Structure 1
């Protein structure tokens, strides 16, 4: 039986089948403005000679992304363009090598120059070039003929190269945690035992997540004007290599899935509410669709390829959005005053838990280094999970899940913490108030910016 709860603009679905399973095509069509149904009917503002060239390349780029999705089912994270475009792509027999070749041809057809003047048109040109380059790189990787490396994936797929870090640099955090949680067992076991005391009981999940998401949405709407019809469905799943996922459907609609197969601690409620919803993925996708697809007719934003520079902006902004919506001590205060009682947990113990989790969060960069060494063949697969346990203090089950994530997504791991740092640097540069930071953040979420164009 399906139970549907409407509250504060949210739509929660607490049973399968998926809410959007029977209406995805209609939703996608409703989300597309008439201009997008034909390249011959682009808005007047886009009829310049150079823009028409970009419009043509943009349409072909969408086709290539959809066709590459035939060979990698993870690749097309979202598409809300015309249904016939997807149908045409599904009928394509183009190999990854052929798709890579067509991508290189498209790159050569774009106007010359990088468009580094900071204008939307310049950012669009840079976006198409960079996203096409990533598409070519991913297509080539699927041929099995290219050599894999962490740096290559980070640079070619995500438009950045995070610095290497020595494991010794994480010793201060590990030492402080050892002092906070003394004992004879391995530190990872002590941390996990401590965290288990703050797990949300399964019968309290709905109330805690409802309150968390409503607060995330309320805080976001104070600064960002969201589309009137935006909403999402929330569903609990299991046996996934991630803790939460946003499946954007177009028309300002999302399906957000939370992995309840692993325990969910009290701090994850706001994290997931902000990251997947407000002002994270749901907000980002809705603003891009409204500002660039519907208002400008830029069809390249009707598709989201997962292994691309756009993912660093998406994941980085979603993680930074937590701190933006709950600055300073506000997240901890809301958890103590609202979420702890809803979960039946003792708020008097929150302060120590907050300190422990702040230190654990800093250790997340060790995960990047573990992934780098594993992908580069410096350590065997058997050492990956134990290293995650030792340096990121994950439980054995979570460490194995993280190895599965690296196996499936490779250097994608950098998008969460390194992406957050890049977004934070962009948003906080020359800003001194919450209003200014929200303005910069909204500008980022509504524009074609990628990592290499953040400071244009």
Structure 2
């Protein structure tokens, strides 16, 4: 690490305090610290001190006070991250927040609300695309059953998808030669994929095989978890901010923080940045469908369906909000997930597990994607300009509310 003149003593002190507060919080919530590759001594200090939640809350307020007169982008980011630490400390002490307040305080953003009628109009378009007997949900899931990647082909398909994402990313973003990842297949998780960043430019990427993995998910997961998504995001933070600038706040990643909206939003936007619709269809037909033993002739109609299903993504936020606030029972939320979001029953049950575990985190995927896309595409018109803005967004201390500027 070689600190430079962009690391003034006050912000360096605040950054260290922030990291230690996040480590202390992690002892109260095992999911809180998503990644840490800072000094082991700081971890040991947290273990030795075992700070109480009220102590963390008080120390966070003291640290925030140090930033009162600081207004640079880095200070704004530290302030937002510390405010999220404060919110989480209050929540773990029993404070109940409504869904939108939770998302604002933890993720610096609030998702729009839509009625059931809004989504039913979109479901009607899918009804037209897939006419026939039974519910729209039944027809969608019967059609999608043709696109499941066989278990014995999953690694080959995922390897090819990740390799393609990496090739596209390296055309625009230089990465350290030693960066790498390990791909694992796991089960019994509430998520479909996860990137565990280990530091030193290394990731462990896990794909959950509890439920069928459909062919379209190969590109989605490959781009989101690896290139140009989470793996690239974390590599850039480590290289450009922690090592090059000495900004130690980035050696830790608290999951319930504004950083997650940037991370999830860029990871999702990175999919369409890497592949235009035509490029993706061509790649899937030529490479992925044959590897999976699926019929490439079915790809265009499946792609058309997936474009319509993507328009239903905000239903996740609305279902989660109503379910977590108690205006939808568990049974009613499952019904929404099946008949509005058009998930199969088993996926719907898994989704409720995610809401229960993660609360308002769900907004980071779709709202984050839309905010990242809008920000990046305001910075230029060419693909190269979009990639440059995307890279800058991933390796700068920009906050979600600042993406609208």
* Structure with more helix by fraction: 2
Instruction: Choose the corresponding residue for 1:89, options 46, 49, 59.
Output: 46
Q: How does 1:60-209 map to 2 (within 5 A)?
A: 60-113=17-70, 115=71, 122-144=72-94, 146-209=95-158
Counterpart in 2 of 1:20? Answer: none
Instruction: Return the alpha-carbon distance in structure 2 between the equivalents of residues 382 and 178 of structure 1.
Output: 24
Instruction: Return the alpha-carbon distance in structure 2 between the equivalents of residues 351 and 267 of structure 1.
Output: 12
| Runs of 4+ with deviation above 6 angstroms | none
Q: State how many pairs are aligned.
A: 405
Instruction: Return the alpha-carbon distance in structure 2 between the equivalents of residues 329 and 100 of structure 1.
Output: 51
Question: Is the 2:195–2:205 contact (alpha carbons within 8 Å) kept by the matching residues of 1?
Answer: yes
Counterpart in 2 of 1:236? Answer: 185
Measured after TM superposition, the shift of residue 182 of structure 1 is: 2.1
For residues 213 and 44 of structure 1, do their structure 2 counterparts lie closer, same or farther at Cα, with a shift above 3 Å needed? closer
Question: Is the 2:88–2:106 contact (alpha carbons within 8 Å) kept by the matching residues of 1?
Answer: yes
User: What TM-score, normalized to structure 1?
Assistant: 0.87
- When structure 1 is superposed on structure 2, of 444-453 and 400-409 the one drifting more is 444-453
Counterpart in 2 of 1:344? Answer: 293
Counterpart in 1 of 2:229? Answer: 280
Measured after TM superposition, the shift of residue 111 of structure 1 is: 4.4
Question: Is the 1:209–1:269 contact (alpha carbons within 8 Å) kept by the matching residues of 2?
Answer: yes
For residues 78 and 165 of structure 1, do their structure 2 counterparts lie closer, same or farther at Cα, with a shift above 3 Å needed? same
Instruction: Choose the corresponding residue for 2:216, options 242, 254, 267.
Output: 267
Instruction: Return the alpha-carbon distance in structure 2 between the equivalents of residues 285 and 297 of structure 1.
Output: 15
Per-residue CA distance 1:146-195 (angstroms, 9 max, x = gap) = 12210111100000112111121122321121122223322212111111
Per-residue CA distance 1:265-319 (angstroms, 9 max, x = gap) = 0000010000000000000000011111000001100000000000000000000
Instruction: Return the alpha-carbon distance in structure 2 between the equivalents of residues 309 and 103 of structure 1.
Output: 16
Structure 2 residue runs of 5 or longer lacking an equivalent are: none
* SS of alignment partner, residue 277 of structure 2: coil
Question: Is the 1:53–1:111 contact (alpha carbons within 8 Å) kept by the matching residues of 2?
Answer: no
Question: Is the 2:4–2:245 contact (alpha carbons within 8 Å) kept by the matching residues of 1?
Answer: no
Q: CA RMSD in A?
A: 1.2
Q: How does 1:441-456 map to 2 (within 5 A)?
A: 441-455=390-404
Q: How does 1:298-377 map to 2 (within 5 A)?
A: 298-377=247-326
Instruction: Choose the corresponding residue for 2:14, options 47, 52, 57.
Output: 57
Instruction: Return the alpha-carbon distance in structure 2 between the equivalents of residues 141 and 67 of structure 1.
Output: 15
Measured after TM superposition, the shift of residue 92 of structure 1 is: 2.4
Instruction: Choose the corresponding residue for 1:424, options 366, 373, 382.
Output: 373
Instruction: Return the alpha-carbon distance in structure 2 between the equivalents of residues 194 and 44 of structure 1.
Output: 56
Question: Is the 1:123–1:453 contact (alpha carbons within 8 Å) kept by the matching residues of 2?
Answer: no
Measured after TM superposition, the shift of residue 455 of structure 1 is: 4.9
Instruction: Choose the corresponding residue for 2:358, options 409, 416, 425.
Output: 409
- When structure 1 is superposed on structure 2, of 399-408 and 366-375 the one drifting more is 366-375
Instruction: Return the alpha-carbon distance in structure 2 between the equivalents of residues 298 and 75 of structure 1.
Output: 20
- When structure 1 is superposed on structure 2, of 324-333 and 307-316 the one drifting more is 324-333
Instruction: Return the alpha-carbon distance in structure 1 between the equivalents of residues 277 and 136 of structure 2.
Output: 28
Instruction: Return the alpha-carbon distance in structure 2 between the equivalents of residues 158 and 99 of structure 1.
Output: 19
Instruction: Return the alpha-carbon distance in structure 1 between the equivalents of residues 322 and 272 of structure 2.
Output: 30
Question: Is the 2:4–2:246 contact (alpha carbons within 8 Å) kept by the matching residues of 1?
Answer: no
Instruction: Return the alpha-carbon distance in structure 2 between the equivalents of residues 91 and 395 of structure 1.
Output: 47
Question: Is the 2:57–2:86 contact (alpha carbons within 8 Å) kept by the matching residues of 1?
Answer: yes
Instruction: Return the alpha-carbon distance in structure 2 between the equivalents of residues 379 and 446 of structure 1.
Output: 39
Counterpart in 2 of 1:396? Answer: 345
User: What TM-score, normalized to structure 2?
Assistant: 0.98
* SS of alignment partner, residue 138 of structure 1: helix
Per-residue CA distance 1:397-431 (angstroms, 9 max, x = gap) = 10000000000000000000000000000000142
Counterpart in 2 of 1:227? Answer: 176
- When structure 1 is superposed on structure 2, of 312-321 and 328-337 the one drifting more is 328-337
* SS of alignment partner, residue 104 of structure 1: helix
Per-residue CA distance 1:367-417 (angstroms, 9 max, x = gap) = 110111112221222321221111110011100000000000000000000
Instruction: Return the alpha-carbon distance in structure 1 between the equivalents of residues 383 and 139 of structure 2.
Output: 37
